[in-house]
């Protein structure tokens, strides 16, 4: 299983960016996300930026990853995920989530 990690761009190189997130710094391939500037947020899978995201989405993903990590370490997993689970969404919210405005 591959989990996307939200990372923030700190420096740019041709075809790559130095990014920081979840306690680490790494050089990321940016071929799939276009032009970036320091401060942009990316969702990174296995060293490749797959999607440009905003700070709110980065916080949501980090909250979910924190819950998963806590559960793996035996902590209570009843914390706030930082977003509404699909099972708790209205029909209209589900349509927006799936792109069916």
Round the average pLDDT of the chain to a whole number and report it: 86
Rounded mean pLDDT, 59-68: 85
Q: How many domains does the chain have?
A: 1
| Model confidence, pTM | 0.72
Beta bridge partners of 24: 21
Percent of residues, the chain, with pLDDT higher than 70: 85
Residue-wise pLDDT tens digits, 20-58: 999 999 999 999 999 999 999 999 999 999 999 999 999
**How many residues does this entry show for the chain?**
101
Domain that holds residue 20: 5-97
Rounded mean pLDDT, 58-78: 79
Residue 75 has pLDDT above 60, yes or no: yes
Query: Residue 88's domain is classified under what CATH number?
Result: 2.30.30.140
Tokens 């035996």 sit at which residue?
74
Q: Say how far apart CA 32 and CA 2 lie, in whole Å.
A: 17
């Amino acid at each position: 299983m591959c989990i996307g990690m939200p990372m923030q761009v700190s420096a740019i190189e041709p075809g790559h960016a130095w990014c920081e997130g979840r306690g680490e710094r790494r050089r990321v391939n940016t071929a799939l996300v276009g032009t970036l500037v320091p401060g942009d947020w990316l969702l990174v899978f296995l060293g490749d930026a797959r999607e440009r995201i905003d700070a709110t989405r980065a916080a949501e993903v980090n909250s979910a990853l924190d819950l998963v990590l806590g559960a793996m370490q035996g902590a209570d997993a009843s914390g706030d995920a930082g977003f509404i689970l699909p099972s708790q969404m209205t029909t209209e919210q589900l349509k927006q989530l799936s792109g069916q405005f």
